[in-house]
């Protein structure tokens, strides 16, 4: 199949593109190469993908509709997977316009592209942040998600709503998948695991927010990629509406549109996360305890029931295995990429 992926120089987009290429698919990768973090890391990801003859990169910003439309010059893709976004919860407090431009205007351009191309399935990367500080746990896809705590979360929820309208108006099969604290090799430098490992190897303090009382439903990157690919084969329609007892399907009654969590439903306390890193590295962390930052949520906790009902699987790679894989990658690449 031919996949169009946005964000292939990003953490998740790189891993997804590589898996699809390894499986023999053709991938057109669109990325803006923005300097939000270390460009060497982004360039190295694209260089690794360029080793596959079936990979075609297109460099441009989502806001530039003309450049985005150029991705169709070598054929209409079967599936579009929209991963590119301005990421980062805390950065949205400093530069909200970046989220408006990329996550709203850019995502609308992707909707227009998918509509005009008539693709068989559009997939959109959303986030657990849309649940805000929801008191009900685990977070189910049909739970209340209209009290975002950051503009990042608001932009992602708005993207979901825009996509539902396009799905209804143009009968565009669309899946929005919400992921939960993704980590692993080639990860983002602004994420906790990357920051903690870097600081510990350099004998610096690690900053632990929320006095260490927060918890996260960590998802290893390989599990997330497997979930995305499995869902890509299940374009929403009435024939695959889930009717299993105890599972609430989010398939819209107005459109071929569905929202699905990709998370394992096994939240880990922040201090247990730190202890796991200490165990794998074989050295203690110097801890600096700090209050919760503005926009942070106390916990994330996915219900994987709908994902299980649709695909027969959920994320299962354990934290110690995933942390070990990240540390091995980091040690091997820190010098070359100046991490």
Beta bridge partners of 175: 123, 258
Confidence of residue 133 (pLDDT cuts 50, 70, 90): confident
Point out the residues that are catalytic.
152
Contact 337, 40 (CB under 8 A): yes
d(CA 170, CA 114) in angstroms, rounded, equals: 10
d(CA 39, CA 325) in angstroms, rounded, equals: 22
Confidence of residue 306 (pLDDT cuts 50, 70, 90): very high
Global confidence as pTM: 0.96
Contact 197, 279 (CB under 8 A): no
Query: What is the fold of 2-180+220-263+301-316?
Result: Rossmann fold (3.40.50)
pLDDT tens by residue, 260-295:
999 999 999 999 999 999 999 999 999 999 999 888
Q: What pLDDT does 121 receive?
A: 98
Q: What pLDDT does 89 receive?
A: 72
d(CA 131, CA 140) in angstroms, rounded, equals: 9
């Amino acid at each position: 199949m031919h996949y169009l992926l946005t964000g292939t120089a990003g953490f998740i987009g790189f891993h997804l593109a590589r898996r699809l290429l390894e499986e023999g698919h053709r991938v057109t990768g669109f990325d803006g190469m923005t300097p939000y973090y270390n460009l060497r890391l982004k360039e190295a990801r694209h260089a690794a993908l360029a080793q596959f003859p079936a990979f075609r990169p297109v460099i441009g910003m989502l806001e530039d509709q003309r450049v985005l439309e150029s991705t169709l010059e070598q054929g209409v893709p079967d599936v579009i997977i929209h991963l590119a976004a301005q990421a980062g919860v805390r950065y949205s407090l400093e530069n909200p316009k970046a989220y408006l431009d990329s996550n709203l205007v850019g995502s609308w351009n992707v909707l227009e592209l998918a509509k005009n191309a008539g693709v068989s399935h559009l997939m959109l990367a959303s986030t657990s942040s849309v649940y805000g500080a929801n008191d009900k746990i685990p977070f189910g896809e049909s739970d209340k998600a209209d009290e975002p705590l950051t503009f990042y979360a608001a932009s992602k929820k708005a993207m979901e709503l825009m996509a539902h309208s396009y799905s209804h108006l143009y009968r565009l099969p669309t899946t929005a998948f919400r992921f939960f604290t993704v980590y692993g090799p080639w990860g983002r430098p602004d994420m906790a695991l990357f920051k903690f490992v870097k600081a510990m190897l350099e004998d610096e303090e690690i900053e632990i927010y929320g006095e260490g009382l927060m918890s996260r439903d960590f998802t290893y990157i390989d599990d997330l990629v497997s979930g995305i690919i499995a869902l890509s084969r299940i374009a929403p329609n009435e024939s695959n509406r889930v009717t299993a007892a105890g599972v609430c399907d989010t398939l819209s009654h107005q459109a071929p549109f569905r929202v699905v969590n990709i998370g394992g439903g096994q939240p880990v306390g922040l201090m247990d996360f730190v202890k796991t890193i200490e165990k794998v590295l074989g050295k203690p962390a110097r801890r600096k305890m700090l209050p919760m930052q503005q926009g942070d949520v106390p916990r994330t906790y996915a219900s994987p029931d709908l994902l299980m009902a649709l695909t027969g699987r959920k994320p299962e790679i354990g934290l110690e295995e995933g942390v070990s894989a990240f540390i091995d990658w980091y040690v091997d690449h820190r010098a070359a990429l100046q991490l």
